Chain A
Amino acid sequence: MSHESILIVGAGQAGMQIAVTLREDGYEGELTIVGEEPHGPYQRPPLSKAYLAGDADVESLELRSPSFYVERGIVVITDEKVEEISFEGPSADDRGVAVTSTGRELHFTGLALAPGSTPRRLPLPGADFGGVLYLRDLADADELKSRWSTAQNVVVVGGGFIGLEVAAGARKAGKTVTVLEAADRLIARAVSTETSEFFRQAHERRGTSVRLAAQLSQFVGDGDQVTGVQLADGEVIPADIVLVGIGVIARGELAEKLGLEVINGAIVVDEFARTSDHRVVASGDAVLLPHPLGGGTQVRLESVQNAVDQSRIAAASLLGKSERYRAVPWFWSDQADLKLQIAGLSTGYDQTVVRGNPDDEKFSVLYFREGRLIAIDTVNDAPDYMAVRRALGDGQTIDPATAADTSVKLKSLVIDA
């Protein structure tokens, strides 16, 4: 059916992109984005980088200016959470209604879910002490910043991207920083052992203490404020701030209310960003999707690239077009002066090739599955990153036997698969 009014739940990177693409693709009906935060759509990546360092203000985080939405007839409702949602029946022409936290009813003919994700909590004794913080939104970032200048000891729990970015920022600001990671290496879910080991050494070189296989027993405090983290062996690491970054949980609550297929909170979608009820599309951090580079498994991608590209597909599906999601995933993480860039999906790799010398803080790790290139991590090496991103996009590959040869540009080693 062609829609008269489309509702997008979630005013983040994905929700904004669905709205923008709908208008670019000629949709002229009513268009509403509703989000529970007090802000219109903004960028999250700087929250653990430039914003924390004081190099970006709230206005510079906005994804679009307020007048942009007005000019395009996109209604952005902020500070209201969608609590209930349903269709009046099962057929394609049935309308739906959402009810927000203020009791406002929003009627729609088309629906997109872009609720993002929420930090996984660490349920240890003392978790309620002030200063035990998470970082997902501006409110979290402001809380962290308000404690930042007076804090001397920063403990980061979880050696993933966000934790390591905050750790790098804290070291740069001269604080005493400890990273506690439960696994036996950093960023274990996303990168190879070579890249993990590089980041451990690089952070230690900059003065951060990295503890792997760390077992936490509790947060300790004074009054209602945290003063340290106690490990299983009894040792207490002093902390004025504890930043917990142990991953996120997709926000599938509304999808469940609609009876959609949800696995571990993540909304299951097909390659057209359609949920198990084809009237509803979903995109961004909250979805579990099939990807041609994923080696047949469903993946969840927590990245700006995915929020943008997959939302374009979702918008197309709402307008009755079938565009397949096949964009090459890419990601970046800035940790002090180290720029990590990742292209492709390393899921199921069976071989890695290190190109360059990690000790130079400029190198790449290429990932192969059955001899075929599937992904790359680069540290301070944008040309290698761009070469692989393009090669994967064009369905090309690199011979693992030649990949380590730094006497030639990686670009020149790209061959047809």
Chain B
Amino acid sequence: MPEITYISPDGTTTTLDARVGDSVMETAVKNGVTGIVAECGGACACATCHVYVDGAFMDAVGEAGDLEDDMLDGTASERTPHSRLSCQIKMRDDLNGLTVRIAPKQV
């Protein structure tokens, strides 16, 4: 199982094993990592699952799709080149070790 490390706005880090195919959002929310709100449950309709992807994984994670790109324009925290909606990143074995910082404000 690939691991994901979440860095919360207060600096706490949590590392979880993800099911391959589950999203970075699902893995966090189901296990109670706070800070990712994910109101729409992964439909790319709420922009409340905003994370900043660690530089080392930017290439592996790839770019946001068109809809996600549009939704990212409306995030509550500042959008940076590292911004992604975590519901749109599906876990794969080669993403093992993925580290994301959770955006401080989601709603």
Instruction: Write the residues of chain A forming the contact surface with B, with a CB cutoff of 8 angstroms.
Output: 24, 43, 45-46, 49, 59-60, 62-65, 67-68, 71-72, 304-305, 308, 330, 332, 334, 339, 341, 380-383, 385-387, 389-390, 411
Contacts and interface: CB of A to CB of B under 8 A. Distances in A.
A383 B70 contact: yes
Given A24-B34, A62-B30, A382 B70 contact: yes
A341 B70 contact: no
Contacts of B34: 24
Interface residues of B, number: 20
Contacts of B43: 45, 49, 332, 334
Listed from nearest, the 7 A-B pairs whose CB atoms lie closest are: A386-B74, A382-B70, A332-B45, A65-B30, A43-B41, A68-B32, A382-B71
B41 A65 contact: no
A71 B29 CA distance: 14
B39 interface: yes
Contacts, number: 61
B60 interface: no
Given A67-B31, A330-B46, A389-B74, A60 B40 contact: no
A63 B67 CA distance: 24
A183 B31 CA distance: 44
14 contacts: A45-B43, A63-B30, A65-B30, A67-B31, A68-B32, A71-B32, A308-B39, A341-B45, A382-B70, A382-B73, A383-B73, A383-B74, A386-B74, A411-B73
Contacts of B29: 63-64
Contacts of B26: 60
Contacts of A59: 19
B88 to A, nearest CB: 13
B79 to A, nearest CB: 11
A62 B22 CA distance: 12
B103 to A, nearest CB: 15
Interface string B74-86: 1000000000000
B47 interface: yes
Binding site of B, secondary structure by majority: helix, strand, loop or mixed? loop
A334 to B, nearest CB: 7
A339 B74 contact: no
Interface in B1-43: 19, 22, 26, 29-32, 34, 39-41, 43
A358 B70 CA distance: 19
A389 B47 CA distance: 11
A406 to B, nearest CB: 15
Contact of A304 (B22, B30, B39, B73): B39
Contacts of A389: 74
Nearest to A305: B39
B10 to A, nearest CB: 14
A349 B26 CA distance: 37
Nearest to A332: B45
B47 A65 contact: no
A334 B34 CA distance: 27
B36 to A, nearest CB: 13
A70 B12 CA distance: 22
A60 B39 contact: no
B74 A382 contact: yes
